[in-house]
Amino acid sequence: MTSPTDLLVRGGRIIDPANGVEGTLDVLVRDGRIAAVAAELAANAPVFDATGLVVAPGFVDLHTHLREPGFEHKETIASGTIAAARGGYTTVCAMANTDPTMDSAAVVAQVLERARGASARVLPVGAITKGRRGKELAEMEALRAAGVVAYSDDGEGIADAGVARRAFDYAAALDLPISEHCEDLAIAGAGQERGVMHEGAVSARLGLSGQPAAAEIAMLDRDIHLAELTGAQLHFAHVSTAASCAAVATAKEHGLRISAEVTPHHLFLTDAAVAGETTNGLDPNSYDTNAKVAPPLRPAAHAAACVDALATGVLDAVATDHAPHALPDKQCEFQHAAYGISGLETAFGVLGTLVSERKLTLATVIERLTIGPVRAWRLDRETHRGLGTLAEGAPGDLAIIDPACRWVVNPDRFASLGKNTPLTGRTLTGRVVATVLGGRLVFDARAEEAPA
Amino acid sequence: MITQPQTEAPVSPVPAGDPTGQQVSWRHRHLLDVDALDTAEIERLLQSTAAMEEVLQRRVARTPALRGITVVTLFYEASTRTRASFELAGKILGADVINLSAKGSSVEKGESLIDTVRTIGAIGADIVVMRHPQAGAPYLAARHSTARIINAGDGTHAHPTQALLDAYTLQKALGDLQDKRICIVGDIKHSRVARSNLWTLTRLGATVTLVAPQSLLPPGLNQNHPLGLPAVRIDDDLDRALEDADAVIALRLQRERAAGVQVPSLREYARRYQITRERLGLARENAPVLHPGPLNEGVEISPDVARGLQSEIERQVQHGVAVRMAVLYLLARGGA
């Protein structure tokens, strides 16, 4: 008898960075868990022919905005996890800026309930402070008991250094990481004055208020000192500047428990995207609100520094910061537009393009999408033992990839309700062909594209 | 779009003194900023302006060149001179001009900019003259509008017709602007006029010096970035910058916003950056002084300079009508 959670993936090129495995092998998933990785496996199980494709552990996203509860017009747990599956992601960490905020066990329980049977594993992130207002600590122990894997007020940094210090102290004892959004609003500008893009040549041209790299670094440096003081496990969300990468590298050399992520868009795009990549005078396509994101897209030197830091392991993970929005949230004046990019379904294409440009290797990219994030947050505890690897007994999660496939981004084809991407019309190299979650095929492009 | 040198003879598209209402060649649908115009196009626009000035000097300043054209002015921000100037320009050319303001319209009921411009297009407007407090709003409008869009000022981004009338005024005062040294003094950071001036003046060959404390300059100047503003000189010392300057453009300091924030006080600002008669003596003889208005006399400019012989401020306002006639004409009859 074969169960629906059995699958034999045959003939693919296996890349399992955690175990140093790379070669043409078969993968057998039994009862939703990895049973064997070996040559010429035979088993009584449905077969997926992966000849010519790369087979990796399912991707793990440390930074996903699923928007539910409260913003179901932007995304739902159902639509967001289908988008995840289409992007090769089998585990997504759902951020706390829902409505109500994920600052109580009840909201966490509600999210986990809705995530049952979803197309990806949803690991909730609890808020650090009540309502993410940066004042009073949320009940962090209750959140942990309810199942959160980290704490974050993402969307906002903790402006008050005293509150940050107490949060770090408290989280240190709870042994879960804090994921910090670094943006010093005294420098970036608060409220109406908040810089809506990177401050530099392009913002000067466009007459938009900018925020300098210093707005990120100021808070990041503060937090490194507080991490040293408190012993907290600190994670930096969406690092976007060269100086941030350097500071993280130094902190790691000093042995602090620090990790960091970078988004595909900060690796790949620059602030020129806001101007619509025009070369001769601004045109009606300038002021592209789909390129409005926090932290802002930066000049090429910052993006290059982030690529280098990802290659060397200073940055532990690629995280999407998938931030879906409804059309009216973006189709408005730049100043009024919402921040964020819908990223789950383009992440691997962007990274694969960087591989095709020889800026990163495929093995590095897969490491930073799998075991990198898992180790950063120690997600492989208890029931998730082996997550991000193809070790025997690990969750039977696979991303099956065609690294050479060239495709054109068309958000109309996204499963995500958020069509907001500045990549529309771009040709990317590298595509997820199929995704397996606990032995079940949750995405199969070949089946989708087969004639009816 | 690819910039190509204009091959046709550099004559005015409008026969002197007699705009005909016939089709002329103009490749731009909208006027969003001057940066989209090449040097030849800027010069052509200024030549059309001269022709329009002749119309203005007639005993009865009226011509039916834009008969049947509907111009809507859509202002989300208060304005006296720009709006009146566009309205008059349209009426002199025989267009129907409708004035809409955000106050008392469906905008107050929460209508989006896109819906508003679509509605205005649907009622048959040919040209929308738009002022908006947010940079880039006219670009959004242009994406969604059937009508042509003229940017009459968007946030701290651009004010192309002001820059064109400044260039016209400077040309009349100085002749060719090639290699002329022009100082722009004051709050460059928040000035849409300064940004548009940079494009126009540098394309006409002038050397521009921005004079301001760093707190009033936009960060990111002179980075040689392909999407940056044109290269400029920067000086925080007005006396030094004024030496041998051919012209001075003083900008309005937003008193309520700047004092105690971007500059320590209005008094300190005036001491360092006010255009006074004494300072003006450092510049070339008879150097023209421009100001886009409205003036803060005694802050960025002294009253005697504002009303003195070198002041072009009133002529700027007069030229504004002619420039806007030329812009309306080229867009309406340009066929793009």
Place of tokens 């970078």: A262
Q: Is the ipTM of this complex over 0.90?
A: yes
Higher local confidence (pLDDT), A191 or A161: A161
Q: Is residue B74 part of a domain?
A: yes
Q: What percent of chain A has pLDDT over 90?
A: 93
CA distance B295 to chain A (A): 22
The pLDDT of residue A303 is 98
B145 shares its domain with B219: no
> Taking CB atoms and an 8 Å limit, are A208 and B157 in contact across chains?
yes
Q: Is residue B11 part of a domain?
A: no
B169 shares its domain with B287: yes
B124 shares its domain with B210: no
Q: What DSSP element (H or E) covers B304?
A: helix B303-306
Q: Is B22 helix (H, G, I), strand (E, B) or coil?
A: coil
Region B1-19: mean pLDDT is: 44
The pLDDT of residue A383 is 83
The verdict on B187 touching A (C-beta cutoff 8 Å) is: no
B199 shares its domain with B263: yes
Q: Indicate if the pLDDT at residue B71 is higher than 80.
A: yes
Q: What percent of chain B has pLDDT over 90?
A: 83
The pLDDT of residue A382 is 82
| Nearest residue on chain A to B221, alpha-carbon basis | A201
pLDDT band at B4 (very low <50, low <70, confident <90, very high): very low
User: Between the CA of residue A64 and those of A119, A416, B307, what are the distances in Å?
Assistant: 14, 12, 61
Q: Please tell me the pTM assigned to this model.
A: 0.94
* Cβ-based contacts of B36 with chain A (< 8 Å): 280-283
Q: Indicate if the pLDDT at residue B14 is higher than 70.
A: no
- Using one digit for the tens of pLDDT, what is the confidence trace for B151-184? 999 999 999 999 999 999 999 999 999 999 999 9
Region A189-197: mean pLDDT is: 91
Taking the C-alpha atoms of B158, B88, B334 and B131 in order, what is their torsion angle to the nearest 10 degrees? 30
- Using one digit for the tens of pLDDT, what is the confidence trace for A108-128? 999 999 999 999 999 999 999
* Cβ-based contacts of B137 with chain A (< 8 Å): 333
Decide the pairing of beta strands A178-180 and A234-236. Answer: parallel
Q: Indicate if the pLDDT at residue A150 is higher than 50.
A: yes
pLDDT band at A179 (very low <50, low <70, confident <90, very high): very high
CA distance B7 to chain A (A): 19
CA distance A352 to chain B (A): 27
The pLDDT of residue B264 is 92
Average model confidence (pLDDT) across chain A: 96
CA distance A209 to chain B (A): 9
Strand partners, A123: A93
Region A35-42: mean pLDDT is: 95
| Nearest residue on chain B to A273, alpha-carbon basis | B227
The pLDDT of residue B175 is 97
Q: Is residue B270 part of a domain?
A: yes
The pLDDT of residue A295 is 98
Positions of A marked active-site: 321
Q: Indicate if the pLDDT at residue A3 is higher than 90.
A: no
Q: Indicate if the pLDDT at residue B191 is higher than 90.
A: yes
| Nearest residue on chain A to B225, alpha-carbon basis | A201
> Taking CB atoms and an 8 Å limit, are A206 and B35 in contact across chains?
no
B180 shares its domain with B213: yes
- Within the 102-161 window of chain B, which residues sit less than 8 Å (CB to CB) from chain A? 112-114, 132, 134-137, 139-140, 142-143, 154-158
> Taking CB atoms and an 8 Å limit, are A210 and B219 in contact across chains?
yes
The pLDDT of residue B114 is 94
The CA distance from B194 to B273, in Å, is 16
B219 shares its domain with B136: no
B181 shares its domain with B219: yes
Q: Is residue B120 part of a domain?
A: yes
Burial B276-311 (b: 16+ CB within 10 A, else e): eeebbeebbeebbbbbbbeebeebbbbeebbeeebb
Burial A87-110 (b: 16+ CB within 10 A, else e): bbbbbbbbbbbbeebbbbbebbeb
B92 shares its domain with B165: no
Helices (H), B146-263: 160-174, 192-203, 238-242, 255-258
Count of pairs with CB atoms under 8 A, one residue in A, one in B: 111
The pLDDT of residue A2 is 65
* Cβ-based contacts of B139 with chain A (< 8 Å): 282-287
Q: Indicate if the pLDDT at residue B9 is higher than 90.
A: no
Chain A interface disruption, residue of B30, B227, B257, most A CBs within 10 A: B227
B151 shares its domain with B197: no
Q: Is residue B266 part of a domain?
A: yes
Q: Indicate if the pLDDT at residue B15 is higher than 50.
A: no
- Using one digit for the tens of pLDDT, what is the confidence trace for A228-242? 999 999 999 999 999
B260 shares its domain with B280: yes
Domain that holds residue B152: 34-159+319-333
A207 closest CB neighbour out of B155, B219, B226: B155
Interface of A with B (CB under 8 A): 199-210, 212, 272, 275, 278-287, 299, 328, 331-336
A284 closest CB neighbour out of B142, B223, B225: B142
Listed range (A150-159, A247-256, B110-119, B301-310) with the worst mean pLDDT: B110-119
Q: Indicate if the pLDDT at residue A75 is higher than 90.
A: yes
- Using one digit for the tens of pLDDT, what is the confidence trace for A258-309? 999 999 999 999 999 999 876 677 888 899 999 999 999 999 999 999 999 9
The CA distance from A336 to B39, in Å, is 34
Count of domains observed in chain B: 2
pLDDT band at B18 (very low <50, low <70, confident <90, very high): low
The pLDDT of residue A279 is 67
Q: Is residue B7 part of a domain?
A: no
- Using one digit for the tens of pLDDT, what is the confidence trace for A386-438? 999 999 999 999 999 999 999 999 999 999 999 999 999 999 999 999 999 99
Q: Indicate if the pLDDT at residue B5 is higher than 50.
A: no
The verdict on B223 touching A (C-beta cutoff 8 Å) is: yes
Q: Is residue B53 part of a domain?
A: yes
* Cβ-based contacts of A188 with chain B (< 8 Å): none
Region A131-151: mean pLDDT is: 97
**CATH number of the domain residue B299 falls in:** 3.40.50.1370
The pLDDT of residue A1 is 54
B179 shares its domain with B279: yes
> Taking CB atoms and an 8 Å limit, are A202 and B220 in contact across chains?
yes
| Nearest residue on chain B to A335, alpha-carbon basis | B134
B167 shares its domain with B282: yes
The pLDDT of residue B101 is 83
